[in-house]
A and B are shown apart, each in its own frame.
Chain A
């Protein structure tokens, strides 16, 4: 009886999940055709199948929620895998000033709008984070698609991404602890525990990362995939237990892996990451009420406009020493897109009193900037040229 009931549910769940995956696949192809990231389209799909949407999912919601949470861990894992310890050290040396400008210019508007809307301070702080972090995925894809990796301003842009990601390693556990904390003294304790845990994992990652990598090096692809997946979930879960965001645990696992294992791990975990991350974006907007989204559209659009200006300033400052005016504008426009990190930050606050509005605001903000950013940077150069920025080509 039980088995029969379960298999009936399973059949329904398969049908729902299969249909959703096929829809996401079509959206991914569409976005590749248009040349934008698939994230905004995934968010729209999530709205459609969520509560109040046009085709709400019935039985597979629990599965999609768990898969989405695994998606966050894998997103952060691959982000950590992208950088070697040397690159982090170099990025830190080169990028402190632009990093600070970037943080101040982009957190402030979100924080102020959150407070102005009458949200709790913690929700406002989360909105500040949502507005702050550029999407590494969208930015690096835009740089490579537009053949800008050779450009003079590009190292500054990539360094800023490194700084933002490192800043996340501190920001996420702090806000995570504040969200979880009850009362001032309790909050201070949880924040202290969280930061200590991050320091511990970071030390272990940087000091014994080599040994961990050597341990994993002889594994077959299959064994490596399972080991990295298992380690990510395990460290993420343990981090969550002590109120550090699980995502940061996963990020630090990625940092700890180095050398040839790093490259192989990115290769084997990549497809898994794509699958679960798509589910994550879907699930995020799944819990956003489309009616809420319409309500916040106007403030979100205004905030996005300020966010564009903020990133233009960040890029202008970051590329100060490496490029002239046109390069500095390119650096700013390419940074406009927000994406995975903004959604991760907002998801942290889902359980707070203003969580629903925060979620809707974030969905709208990411939708606008992730579409506008790549387009802006693509055409920024042409605008500069028509404005008389460069001498006529092919002049004898």
Chain B
């Protein structure tokens, strides 16, 4: 990650700046009121800004969502790590031993501790599949468990 410098702006708020990988100098101004400005520095006069975008608190959320890595999803990821719970998407490949087996028959949870919480089949999602559900080639298994349990489950499907 680029180095971010922080400058207090008395009476206004705070400014964070960094240089992008392409060499553009960029600043985000956080007003105390919650308003944000994004400023791009002028290459000819590096002390001044060429472009300034004015964002309301709502605009800021929209932009953060579009750029990804929104504070909300990062917070959710943090909660998952704290609880020691992980989620994984595991494809059922043609030729896997599990093709044609039922979820219950494979005794997946007994062997790995991870639970299958959904199956993605083509465009459909089967939430909370029963133990009698048969796995087909091309399915994607959505499983929840400990990171270790999920690693073992992956091995089962790769066998």
Q: Identify the A interface with B (CB < 8 A).
A: 82-83, 86-88, 90-91, 136, 140, 144, 147-155, 158-159, 161-162, 263, 322-324, 326-327, 330, 381, 389-391, 393
A391 & B44 in contact (Cβ 8 Å cutoff): yes
Nearest-Cβ distance from residue A382 to partner chain B, whole angstroms: 12
A87 & B10 in contact (Cβ 8 Å cutoff): yes
A158 & B48 in contact (Cβ 8 Å cutoff): no
What sequence of 0s and 1s flags, for each residue 111-152 of chain B, a beta carbon within 8 Å of any chain A beta carbon?
A: 000000000000000000000000000000000000000000
| Distance A83 CA – B13 CA, assembled complex (angstroms) | 10
Nearest-Cβ distance from residue A25 to partner chain B, whole angstroms: 25
| Distance A35 CA – B15 CA, assembled complex (angstroms) | 26
B9 & A154 in contact (Cβ 8 Å cutoff): yes
What sequence of 0s and 1s flags, for each residue 53-84 of chain B, a beta carbon within 8 Å of any chain A beta carbon?
A: 00000000000000000000000000000000
Q: List 16 A-B contacts (CB under 8 A).
A: A82-B10, A83-B10, A87-B8, A88-B10, A91-B10, A147-B37, A149-B12, A149-B15, A149-B39, A150-B15, A150-B37, A158-B10, A263-B33, A323-B47, A327-B45, A389-B45
Query: Is B52's beta carbon under 8 Å from chain A?
Result: yes
A147 & B52 in contact (Cβ 8 Å cutoff): yes
What sequence of 0s and 1s flags, for each residue 40-52 of chain B, a beta carbon within 8 Å of any chain A beta carbon?
A: 0100111111001
> What residues of A have a CB within 8 angstroms of the CB of B11 in the complex?
82-83, 87, 136, 140, 158, 161-162
User: Would you list which residues of chain B between 7 and 33 have a CB under 8 Å from chain A?
Assistant: 7-12, 15, 27, 29, 32-33
CB-CB nearest in chain B for A391: B44
| Distance A152 CA – B41 CA, assembled complex (angstroms) | 9
> What residues of B have a CB within 8 angstroms of the CB of A158 in the complex?
9-12
| Distance A329 CA – B97 CA, assembled complex (angstroms) | 75
Besides the known contacts A158-B10, A263-B33, 20 further A-B residue pairs in the complex with CB atoms under 8 A apart: A82-B11, A83-B11, A86-B8, A136-B11, A140-B12, A144-B12, A147-B52, A150-B15, A150-B41, A150-B49, A150-B52, A151-B48, A158-B9, A161-B10, A161-B11, A323-B47, A324-B47, A381-B48, A390-B44, A391-B44
A150 & B39 in contact (Cβ 8 Å cutoff): yes
A149 & B47 in contact (Cβ 8 Å cutoff): no
| Distance A153 CA – B29 CA, assembled complex (angstroms) | 14
Q: How many residues of B contact A (CB 8 A)?
A: 21
| Distance A298 CA – B105 CA, assembled complex (angstroms) | 101
Nearest-Cβ distance from residue A343 to partner chain B, whole angstroms: 20
Q: Which of B10, B27, B33, B44 contacts A162 (CB 8 A)?
A: B10
A90 & B45 in contact (Cβ 8 Å cutoff): no
CB-CB nearest in chain B for A319: B47
| Distance A215 CA – B21 CA, assembled complex (angstroms) | 48
Q: Which of B7, B46, B48 contacts A148 (CB 8 A)?
A: B48
Nearest-Cβ distance from residue A140 to partner chain B, whole angstroms: 6
> What residues of A have a CB within 8 angstroms of the CB of B41 in the complex?
150
CB-CB nearest in chain B for A87: B10
CB-CB nearest in chain A for B34: A263
A147 and B8 in contact, given A263-B32, A390-B44, A391-B44 (Cβ under 8 angstroms): no
> What residues of B have a CB within 8 angstroms of the CB of A390 in the complex?
44-45
> What residues of A have a CB within 8 angstroms of the CB of B9 in the complex?
149, 154-155, 158
A152 & B47 in contact (Cβ 8 Å cutoff): yes
A90 & B10 in contact (Cβ 8 Å cutoff): yes
| Distance A86 CA – B33 CA, assembled complex (angstroms) | 18
> What residues of A have a CB within 8 angstroms of the CB of B33 in the complex?
263
B10 & A326 in contact (Cβ 8 Å cutoff): no
| Distance A136 CA – B12 CA, assembled complex (angstroms) | 12
Nearest-Cβ distance from residue A194 to partner chain B, whole angstroms: 26
> What residues of B have a CB within 8 angstroms of the CB of A389 in the complex?
45
Nearest-Cβ distance from residue B118 to partner chain A, whole angstroms: 43
> What residues of A have a CB within 8 angstroms of the CB of B12 in the complex?
140, 144, 149, 158
Q: Which of B15, B47, B52 contacts A153 (CB 8 A)?
A: B47
CB-CB nearest in chain B for A393: B44
A155 & B47 in contact (Cβ 8 Å cutoff): no
> What residues of A have a CB within 8 angstroms of the CB of B37 in the complex?
147, 149-150
| Distance A161 CA – B29 CA, assembled complex (angstroms) | 19
Q: Which of B8, B27, B32 contacts A150 (CB 8 A)?
A: B27
A326 & B32 in contact (Cβ 8 Å cutoff): no
> What residues of B have a CB within 8 angstroms of the CB of A90 in the complex?
8, 10
Nearest-Cβ distance from residue B75 to partner chain A, whole angstroms: 22
| Distance A179 CA – B17 CA, assembled complex (angstroms) | 48
Nearest-Cβ distance from residue B74 to partner chain A, whole angstroms: 25
